[in-house]
Structure 1
Amino acid sequence: MTSYSSTLLKLLDERGYIHQLTDAAAFDALAAREPVSAYIGFDATASSLHVGSLVQIMMLRRLQQSGHRPIVLMGGGTTKVGDPSGKDESRKLLTEEQINANIAGIRRVFERFLTFGDGPNDAMMVNNADWLDRLEYIPFLRDVGRHFTINRMLTFDSVRLRLDREQPLTFLEFNYMILQAYDFLELSRRAGCRAQMGGSDQWGNIVNGIELGRRVDGAELFGVTTPLITTADGAKMGKTAQGAVWLDEQLLSPYDYWQFWRNTQDADVGRFLRLFTDVPVDEVARLEALPGAEINQAKIVLATEATAMLHGRDAAQKAEQAAAETFAGRGASADLPTLRTGGSIAVLSALTGLGFCASNGEAKRKIAEGAVKLDDQAVSDPALQISIGDAPVKLSLGKKKHGLLVR
């Protein structure tokens, strides 16, 4: 672990957020000397963010906890272009109305993690459409485009990997890295922003912005990236068989969010407690050292604390209680995910409707494996039609997935 003098970098380092830093000594000295404004950009491609964006959200939270000012940059302009990083094909283009609706939904997520306002370290949300939509093409090419070479742009992973796979890269997308660099320049001018943070795949784009700020304004800017968050088995964190783990209760219930964290692998518990909760690091060290089956207590703390941060303490405690009641075999809790059936439903439809299985074929395989239960009784017939009366019926897949079927 590197020795830093600023509260910010000490916190980021001890909790595992730092992958790369530009001029670490100078940024550390700046953060120790005065409040720093730093930003992360988020494109508005959906009505909510998912857990894959959570490490970036938490970076902004750590920034604010350290007395600095987080800037949430919404890509109202860049969403119209599409970031080619990590993509094999062009992103679907959205209308301005769809983008604005998505930004409104995403802001509700950030309000759970950050304090917005007018104070010196209160978070602010800005939209790059405010300046990108007003750019004039020829002046932009002359003033900004001349600082970028095609030679270098072709070496960037976001471009090179697409070309290596012989996937088309449109001129529209090719401009993305220039627009992102220009965002950093504008935020430096408008908000005194000194640093850009992001995932490791954004390193090249961040460095572009730093160099543009130096060449055009003589500004001293900095960059910080986080490591790619993978699980102990090498999978990308947040990817599940049921799809994205959304940060909006309309898209994923607090109970299902709690269960996502509860299902963390033993080897990941300590790291995820540091990254995704405010549990003190000395307590994390104690929890991750619990022996044998006691590590499940650490997983419950992780699930409850992560859920409380997003959905509130009451929802987190209800989810924890619902899980305890279910796993203890004391019946079905009303806080489990629920599927309305109209009084009757096929077991295959119930399994896919609750999101336990991605297809009828997968549901049939799970039944054949003996993994499906109705009110704790094994189901063996994939053609079973379930009748629901006044009382709900509990449907289970394995030991950890449970839902209610109601009339």
Structure 2
Amino acid sequence: MHSLIASPFLDTHLVLRPGLRGGVKIPALRYQELTDAVRAGRPAPHWLADAAGRTWSLDLDLGRPAGDTILIRQPSPYGYARASWEINKGCDYDCDHCYLGLKRFEGLPWEDKVRLLTVMRDAGVLWLQITGGEPLIDRDFPAAYAHAYDLGMMIAISSNGSQLSKPRILNVLTDRRPYSITLSVYGATETSYDGMTRSRGAYGRFTRGLDAAKDADLPVKLNVIVSTHNAHEVDAMKALADRRGFPHQVYTNMSPTIDGSGEPLPTQAADFLRKRKPFAGCNAGHTFFHADPFGKASICKVGRDPQIDLPAEGVEGLRRLGGIADSLMLRTGGCTGCQLSGSCWTCRPLAKLYQEAKAPLTSYCQHGGR
């Protein structure tokens, strides 16, 4: 199993340590030197051993071939550096604030999951977020996670944490450490947590998962989700994170579902709503893409149409995605005719969902209804 990854990343090259923060930026000549050393069966150069010691306190054995410890990621002509993947939309919770709406348990067979991950690797994806639904309930999650790791991806996981204490999950995450695990917090007591998730016993499963992750020293951070169900427990949810030493963020604004339904919006706790930050542009569709459970690629989790069927088309299909991204950002639909559109950077796909949900203009428009 590799200890380091050397990879192109956008217009530079990086050396990374799987499962850990920090990295080493190297020039193209150094990357080529590492590639040549691995191909020739030579040891890693001394400069890499010095950098690994400074950055991660890693003692590289310069008596062994470099290929024993370094995975070389090959350059990609497609220019994608990051991706997210809904391995499955199914979930063991039934939260009424969920942006996915109907959460069917369905997705690709194992052979196509492998093909999709290979397409992502060939597209240049170095950072991969595996999400859902609840990704850890997918029967193929441990094998898919391990395969993505072995392809040389730095993996982030978004989860509710209910399965983290199970050996089949914990074993693969401790054997191949993720870059990060983000867990959502839905309450600080059994009553509020189980009520918000509409799943009896959910709080117990969640806290067991938290404690298992703490004991395994996994890189967990928490998203405190505030709604009408649990707004009275905001401080207690923060304290829950602090007691275990996990960093946390607080989220208060809900989004419409991906099909434009406004059902999640009434779950927002009005006293905790925050003004949305002005959109400053993003790389969706150009250096980042999202794949749904069937391997259909879109520019992101919000702008899902049009899609590209990656299992059918392969990596070549991604050449169209940049043009799709540019077209989705045009001021159309509910924004047509706005006199301020020339100075507007509101994310157009997100605005479209809010407009379909008949949400107030102030919930998505950066001009605040002026």
Shorter-chain TM-score tier: under 0.3
Which structure has the larger Rg over C-alpha atoms?
A: 1
TM-score computed with the length of structure 2 as normaliser: 0.27
Is the helix fraction higher in 1 or 2?
1
